[in-house]
Chain A
Amino acid sequence: MSDPAVRLSGLRKSFGAVHAVTGVDLDIADGEFFAMLGPSGSGKTTVLRMIAGFESPTSGTVELGGVDVTRLAPFERDVNTVFQDYALFPHMSVLDNVEYGLRVKRVPRAERRERALAALASVRLEGYERRRPGQLSGGQRQRVALARALVNRPRVLLLDEPLGALDLKLREEMQVELKSIQREVGITFLFVTHDQEEALTMSDRVAVFDRGRVEQVGTPAEIYERPATAFVAGFVGTSNLISGSAAQAVLGREGTFSVRPEKLRVAALGDPVDGAEHSATGTVSEVVYAGPATRFVVELDAGGRLIALQQNLQVSSMDVMGLRGTKVRLVWHRRHEFAIVS
């Protein structure tokens, strides 16, 4: 087996009394689209900066392609970064920005120009070569930053919330585009985000961070359908926990369990439940109509609360709104409930 593109071993970083990263071990394979997901302050940026070389770890090592680079300066590492604020050089044209890395590496002029133009074309920015970064929109700047990093063909591309500054529509467009660019160039993308949807839709694998540690690593489906801890269940999607006496009453088991909202079916009290299913009765305390779907908040009779998400396939807002305050039965398939380690 070949060496992973990135290997982090026992990585820690403290800023004085602040322990930003408290022991991270990760292997990221070549060509992978890998997301680091976590709430604000969970240490994602700090990990990224240690891989880029802007920050040196308090302890632990960073390996790139099997080579220990922990003590190397940023300019000695075969990685490039797309900064959260893009960090384009304001006094240079778009073309000069993109050519910067190649010029530093003394790539001959003709080849440099050719590669820079190709990179700009791959992010759909032909015709913008002469502009200054100040004359571009946020989305265009983001793409210049991407081209400036990609043109160097690094082993790993690091992206720190590259879509954070864009509006929702542009962000969704760029998500698709980023993913297709990554597939095209085949470079390992290591992507930081605190947007769980973004992490789930774009990546091959996701590492969920909390308080400087990795809580769980897995494919989006694993993370979403089999969250290992209550934190992951809560951070990725709605947690919907059943625990304590409610678990005893509803499932007949000890522990904490979770069911995703879209796996719950809102049924009438008397509806039949088949053997492979579990169910719980409760009162609808809230109905939120959201266009294609409706969210029901149900206070369980056994204690606790579950949120159910139903597609509005045949119903209208008038039908669902009337359910507030009524008694319902929530039904789900047993294979959709999973135990949570607390």
Chain B
Amino acid sequence: MSDIIKNTIEKSRYTVDEQGYYGQFGGAYIPEMLYPNVDELRENYLQIIESTDFRNEFQKLLKDYVGRPTPLYYARRLSEKYNTKIYLKREDLCHTGAHKVNNTIGQIILAKKLGKSKIIAETGAGQHGVATATVCALMGLECIVYMGEVDMARQRPNVERMRILGAEVVPATCGSRTLKDATNEAMRHWINNPLDTHYIIGSVVGPHPYPDMVARFQSVISEEMRLQLEQEEGRQLPHYVIACVGGGSNAAGAFYNFLGDEEVNLVAVEAAGKGVNSGESAATTALGKEGVLHGSKTLLMQTEDGQVIEPYSISAGLDYPGIGPMHAHLFETGRVKFVNASDEEAMHAGVELSRYEGIIPAIESAHALAALEKMEFASDDIVVVNLSGRGDKDLDTYIKWGKY
């Protein structure tokens, strides 16, 4: 990373503090049974991921295996439609089809350096599960992925991909049987197997240091954006960066290297499901209050009694009742503007991109695209949309929706 970029971030108020907090959010709210594991990570992660050894291996795999840098593609027809300059950051072209693999490559190298022989993960859309199963195959480590039963049904191709890759997929059968419940099961597994197992969390959620660690691994997205914009536009800073937020890892990666540049408008798009006030939604900042889930204090959809509300979104990857603590802080400070898109709006935006640019996006990413409709841009604004993943896994959902 160039020194200039590094300085702007480190001077910013938006990265994690020594205690593992982003403002009032974050921390490590974990039972004692997880303390030694999480503490081992906390003690070692920075030293490991900043070592030359690690960085060489990470960068080589990102280049030769993942296929980075991913293109920053000028979407001509879409730009004409919205009368502005739209670039797509093509994370959909990563090996395995989404940004998730940036993180799993980083964590698998880290797990090896910590001497772990088994890997567990949770997954919603199955992209993180596939990305984890993939790096486990790459490194020859055992892999178990927890996935909600509902998600296993709606993301069938990814379940089979994980199995082909040699992972065991274990259904989470409690609660809403989606991402939240898969995460509960993965945490229980880690409690039961503390010594030889590393838990590869798939987003910027969980106890400190996970949110910071995952954000760092994903920050390659915005690092490349800056260099690519410099080449294309002669300037590193766009006017807007737009990304969808489930837990928030692709958004964290897309925003990371712009956090200190206050003139860049950062826009996070949450899933409104059937409408923010429909009772079937996953728009956390609109509906949530401060609370603690999965090891961190963050914004959380919950009842008055502090019970977590089952979220809903057509998109499995956004179907989560919280957001990472970094995003909670970015929301509270106003550094990032949070908007939301409904199932219907996202599906339309997904088909629109397919028709205008010949790219079928993941339904998660389609939520980011749906924000274009809701915003006003000047004709010479540079707008970067993070296209976090491709739509192959979502064909069933597109077909069921049917309006194309």
Indicate whether A and B interact: no
* Chain B residues with a Cβ under 8 A of chain A: none
